[in-house]
Amino acid sequence: MSLSLDPTQLDRYSRHIIMDEVGPEGQQALLDAAVLVVGAGGLGAPVIQYLAAAGVGELGIADDDEVELSNLQRQIIHGDDDVGRPKVESAADFVADLNPDVTVRTHEVRVEPDNVEELIADYDFVVDATDNFRTRYLVNDACTLSGTPFSHGAIYKFEGQVTTFTTEGPCYRCLFPEAPPEGMVADCATTGVLGVLPGTVGCIQATETVKHLLGAGEVLDGRMVFYDAMDMSFEEVEFRPNPDCPVCGDDPIDSVAQVEYAEESCPVNAD
């Protein structure tokens, strides 16, 4: 690795550089890394903010939505003046103001089976900051089949969950083979969500991302953390690879084209 930190960077990242677990080599690794954040909403906002501040050199942001006034209670990288703008544009401007070292690639698209493989191809790590099961399964399947590590986060009212998937452990389908029936889990537009909740969950996702890029510590591979803001409690559940998993098991599918990505269940076509 060639170190090329200039005096400004040595100052900006000084609190990283003095850490034995990071140092100049670790900071250079962050600057050389490319991370795709899928979703620039409640979870994506703190992820984008902290990865940019940490100096992750290239951030891809994929989202096809526009900023709404009701977003501002929790989506902290957007402001009043951004209402009506594409979230990817608002997020890119936020990053540019925060850290000029970071290059942002905006993908103003809905992640679909016909574009997901191309989207993730240029990135070292993916952060699933989405709010629907369809995209979660799509990101899981594409990342797992391509060997791209990723972080998963989800929130509901006062509760959140986080885990990280690498090429060596189980995938999301090992834990949840199919999505729950439509209507069983309501979205935040129906039930509401505590404004600070995605900040906690998103920060954990950003932490997992940075640790993976640094090769430091232990990520939540094979472990899911459940957070309850009402009780201020964390619970950890371990899970193992499923040899019969159609995506990461002994006889996996070849591509996402074999999956029916309906919101109801996202089943894998065994044929």
Which residues have a catalytic role annotated? 188
The Cβ of residue 24 has, within 10 Å, a number of other Cβ atoms equal to 17
Pairing of strands 103-107, 58-62: parallel
Residue 212: closest CA among 174, 250, 166: 166
Q: At what angle do helices 23-31 and 197-214 cross, to 10 degrees?
A: 110
First-last CA distance in the chain: 45
Residue 40: closest CA among 92, 83, 3, 80: 92
Task: State the DSSP code for 190.
Answer: H
Residue 34: closest CA among 109, 115, 121: 121
CA 94 to CA 102: how far, in whole Å? 11
Task: State the DSSP code for 195.
Answer: T
Report whether 183 contacts 258 (CB < 8 A). Answer: no
Note the maximum CA span of the chain: 58
Categorise residue 169: left if φ over 0, alpha if ψ from -120 to 50, beta otherwise: beta
